[in-house]
């Protein structure tokens, strides 16, 4: 007598016609199929961020929950590891010997802001104060400072202050000399905006603070100018 569970073409025909019952699935086969289904679900959503998972949560079926929760925990662990790895939170003094490790080998997805300064220059002191504040505000960015000639031998004082911005070891922006910074009137918000334009920080400022000051200055100048009517009356006299 032929085994109804045997994998033969004839048995497949009989099953399709309903003459033979569906083939029995062993417990091992069921567990393997379930594992493959969960793996397939994970692969479907493995391109999603944690935010994407939350946004699409209503579209997941009950059978998806275990696999997606497993993937969510994996992504969360990766995110936490990144946060711990990339939190700096303060400006650090480096020497020329530290430069390669701290700047060129800063790591993947790391922005570095390096201030070359010299003690006794008021604008350098002001910028160091501002960068200390920004280092605490943007802990994902590495803020460094170095005495100019310690980092670059014979670096000219006329180029100070100097700020170099790097991403993954490559220079992305440079700010050289006192005129670039606008002198001692430089505000921390203005420096933040400059760094945000280079990509080094993600600011919550909606527009350039320098523009607001310039707009107020121009408005003040316009209001102090004599009107055309006054000019005409003076000509008549």
> Both tokens of residue 168?
């993954």
Question: What sign results for the dihedral spanned by CA atoms 149, 154, 157, 160?
Answer: negative
Mind listing the domains of the chain with CATH numbers?
Answer: 92-198 (3.40.30.10)
For residue 89, give Cα distances in angstroms to 49, 113, 139, 192: 25, 12, 4, 15
H or E element in which residue 174 lies: strand 170-176
Tokens of 208: 């350039």
pLDDT of residue 207: 87
- The backbone torsions φ and ψ at residue 139, rounded to the nearest 5 degrees and listed phi first, read -70, -10
**DSSP track, 204-223:** --SS-HHHHHHHHHHHHHHH
* DSSP conformation class of 57: G
Average pLDDT over residues 66-88: 67
Distance, in Å, from the CA atom of 31 to the CA atom of 69, rounded to the nearest integer, reads 19
107 band by pLDDT with thresholds 50, 70 and 90: confident
pTM value surpassing 0.75: no
Q: What is the mean pLDDT of residues 47-56?
A: 62
pLDDT 10s digits, 203-222:
988 888 876 555 544 454 45
> Residue 43: is its pLDDT beyond 50?
no
pLDDT recorded at residue 73: 76
Instruction: Specify the pLDDT at position 54.
Output: 64
The predicted model gives 121-125 an average pLDDT of: 97
d(CA 201, CA 140): 8
Q: What gap in Å lies between CA 55 and CA 223, rounded to an integer?
A: 52
Look at strands 142-147 and 162-167 and give their pairing: unpaired
To 5 degrees, how large is the angle CA 101–CA 177–CA 139?
40
Dist CA 5 CA 164 (whole Å): 73
Alpha-carbon distance of 175 to 185, in angstroms, equals 16
Instruction: Rounding to the nearest 10 degrees, give the CA dihedral for residues 224, 228, 233, 235.
Output: 100
Q: How confident is the model at residue 106 (pLDDT cuts 50, 70, 90)?
A: confident
- pLDDT tens digits, residue range 134-153? 999 999 999 999 999 998 99
Task: State the chain's mean pLDDT as an integer.
Answer: 77
């Amino acid at each position: 007598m032929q085994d109804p569970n045997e994998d033969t073409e004839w048995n497949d025909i009989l099953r399709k016609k309903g003459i033979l019952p569906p083939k029995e699935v062993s417990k091992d086969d069921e567990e393997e199929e379930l594992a493959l289904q969960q793996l397939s679900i994970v692969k479907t959503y493995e391109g999603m961020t944690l935010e994407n998972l939350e946004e699409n949560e209503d579209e997941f079926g009950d059978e998806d929950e275990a696999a997606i929760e497993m993937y969510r925990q994996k992504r969360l662990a990766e995110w936490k590891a990144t946060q711990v790895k990339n939190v700096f939170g303060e400006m650090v003094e480096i020497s020329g010997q530290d430069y390669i490790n701290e700047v060129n080998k800063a790591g993947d997805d790391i922005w570095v802001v390096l201030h070359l300064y010299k003690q006794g220059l008021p604008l350098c002191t002001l910028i160091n104060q501002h960068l200390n504040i920004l280092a605490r505000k943007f802990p994902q960015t590495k803020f460094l400072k170095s005495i100019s000639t310690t980092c670059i031998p014979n670096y000219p004082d006329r180029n100070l202050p100097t700020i170099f911005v790097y991403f993954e070891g490559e220079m992305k922006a440079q700010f050289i000399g006192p005129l670039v910074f606008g002198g001692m009137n430089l505000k921390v918000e203005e420096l933040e905006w400059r760094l945000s334009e280079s990509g080094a920080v993600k600011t919550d400022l909606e527009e350039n603070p320098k523009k607001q000051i310039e707009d107020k200055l121009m408005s003040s100048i316009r209001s102090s100018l004599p009107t055309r009517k006054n000019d005409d009356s003076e000509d008549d006299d």
